Amino acid sequence: MTSVLSGKKVLLGVTGGIAAYKTTYIVRLLIKAGAAVKVIMTPAARDFVTPLTLSTLSKHPVLTHFTNEEDENDTWNNHVELGLWADLFIIAPATANTMSKMVNGNIDNLLLATYCSAKCPVYFAPAMDLDMYKHPSTSANFDKLAAYGNLMIPAGEGELASGLSGKGRMAEPEEIIHFIEQDIQSKLVLHGKSCVITAGPTYEAIDPVRFIGNHSSGKMGAALALEMVNHGARVILIMGPSAVKVEHHLIERIDVKSAQQMYDEVHKKITQVDIGIFSAAVADYRPANPVDQKIKKKADTLHIELVKNPDILSSVGALKNKPFLVGFALETENELVHAFAKAEKKNTDLLILNSMRDKGAGFGVDTNKISIIDRDKNVSDYEIKPKSEVAKDIVNEIIQRVL
């Protein structure tokens, strides 16, 4: 499952406490989540975990000093560049000594210099013995660090290195990652919003082996689902037959085949969400009488009676308390005329227009070229782009109108 940490650049600052051994697991979990990780250690931290272990796991050299002690002519480790590189900075374990220096601006090592240069969110996970944790100076430092904008990952209770039992045990690696993921998630602009997205084709059975369908791949709907969750929304992705894989802990995928199945699933979920995006290429017609056995090739011609499928977009647009509604229109001629008519008839808030005449648009390709039509018939035209970038344009338009 994709994490909100995927693609993030993470600095891990390791200080000199026994809990430093847990940082090997933190690095592994960050890498597994898809993050790029660089590690900075204080000199004292090297007594508890080796730089070789952390550099092997992170696939980056571990930095401890401003310069390479083995080569005085080597370039210095630029703490400003490190601070600017990071999307977030985790200091774990954060010892009482390091926290005191963070509060008072006592910059005596590379980790602390980078901390003072960082422009990204800083998380710190305290780790110390019970008496140190309960000392008034520690509580005061917690408050001051929070006032500076740092985010504390609460320590847990349990057996401590001294043999005492109580508060001060550094949060477990899984707890640290979960805390950060939840914090990032809560600050995304669509956090708390939910969305139904339809994607892919529908297959309408003629017999057990043949169907009426189309060439939709589902790639556009999948890109929209990932972009919505990247902004914090919970997504219910109702997908017609498609080989496209979409995995994220905020995406609930429901696989369907026919238009009727898609219609039924949409109406089970649509009253639970804030936004509906209907990008599926739903078959307009289906065979009236699909047969149970394979049709044998006998006559030179075969006549199949077709009946209309339910119109999913229209049915949602007609709801008294409909969600913010985004429809798609694929046209081959008189595109804007047909699109304006569809937007009005189906009561969309935004209509995404594709033209089959545009090179790089349509089914089965990784790019798309769209125009976005709002309720006032304002038209925004976009250049051809990868579908992931098209999804960003669409979601940005949605965000501007639902927040």
Range 48-71 average pLDDT: 87
Question: Each residue of 144-171: pLDDT tens digit?
Answer: 999 999 999 999 988 777 777 778 899 9
- Asked whether residue 151 falls in the same domain as residue 203, the answer is no
At a CB cut-off of 8 Å and minimum separation 6, what does 259 contact?
202, 204, 282, 283, 286, 309, 310, 312
Q: Is 73 a catalytic residue?
A: no
Contact 130, 164 (CB under 8 A): yes
73 pLDDT tier (thresholds 50, 70, 90)? low
CA distance 10 to 36: 6
At a CB cut-off of 8 Å and minimum separation 6, what does 333 contact?
none
- Asked whether residue 211 falls in the same domain as residue 318, the answer is yes
Determine, yes or no, domain membership for 3: no
Determine, yes or no, domain membership for 2: no
Residue 230 has pLDDT above 80, yes or no: yes
DSSP 296: P
Determine, yes or no, domain membership for 4: no
Quick one: pLDDT at residue 176?
98
Q: Name which of 244, 314, 230 is nearest 276 in CA terms.
A: 314
Question: Each residue of 215-229: pLDDT tens digit?
Answer: 999 999 999 999 999
CA distance 354 to 216: 13
Catalytic residue among 68, 78, 97, 214: 214
Residue 273 has pLDDT above 70, yes or no: yes
Determine, yes or no, domain membership for 172: yes
- The CATH code of the domain that includes 91 is 3.40.50.1950
Question: Each residue of 26-40: pLDDT tens digit?
Answer: 999 999 999 999 999
- Asked whether residue 46 falls in the same domain as residue 83, the answer is yes
Cα torsion 210, 216, 219, 223: sign: negative
What value does the mean pLDDT of the chain take?
Answer: 92
- Asked whether residue 232 falls in the same domain as residue 106, the answer is no
- Asked whether residue 206 falls in the same domain as residue 170, the answer is no
Range 382-386 average pLDDT: 91
Contact 45, 98 (CB under 8 A): no
Range 302-330 average pLDDT: 95
Residue 399 has pLDDT above 90, yes or no: yes
Question: Each residue of 100-144: pLDDT tens digit?
Answer: 999 999 999 999 999 999 999 999 999 998 888 999 999 999 999
Annotated binding site for CTP: 284, 294, 310-313, 328, 342, 346
Range 349-354 average pLDDT: 94
The counts of H helices and E strands in the chain are: 13, 21
Range of the domain at 335: 194-292+301-402
Q: Name which of 56, 2, 3, 47 is nearest 27 in CA terms.
A: 56
Number of domains in the chain: 2
Read off the pTM.
0.82
Domain stops at, among 186, 218, 240: 186
Range 47-54 average pLDDT: 96
299 pLDDT tier (thresholds 50, 70, 90)? confident
276 pLDDT tier (thresholds 50, 70, 90)? very high
- The CATH code of the domain that includes 240 is 3.40.50.10300
Helix (H), strand (E) at residue 203? none
